[in-house]
Amino acid sequence: METKVEFQFASLADFLAMDGHGIYVWIAYGVTAAALIALAVYPSLRRRQLQRELQRQQRIQQRRQQVESDRIKTAEPA
């Protein structure tokens, strides 16, 4: 009971056509690949989004502190 593993198609065109089933097989694999890639990529996109949000909030906070200290400075001489 030896099972030989060899390429099942005579040519690349045969491989793509798959005896008329090619369109179904390739669409199924293509959509699956796209879905899995989306799952894999999403966390790093989300992380970057969180980083930008953090930077934005830090900038707002800095500006607020700046305004506050300017106000104190201008108020002091009097």
Q: Which residues bind other proteins (CB under 8 A)?
A: 3, 5-9, 15, 18-22, 24-25, 27-29, 31-32, 35-36, 38-40, 42-44, 46-47, 50-51, 54-55
Looking at the Cβ atoms of 14 and 68, the one nearer to other proteins is: 14
Looking at the Cβ atoms of 13 and 75, the one nearer to other proteins is: 13
**How many Cβ atoms are within 10 Å of 4's Cβ, its own excluded?**
4
Q: Give dist(CA 54, CA 46) in Å, integer.
A: 12
The phi-psi region of residue 5 (left if phi > 0; otherwise alpha if psi is between -120 and 50; otherwise beta) is: beta
Looking at the Cβ atoms of 3 and 74, the one nearer to other proteins is: 3
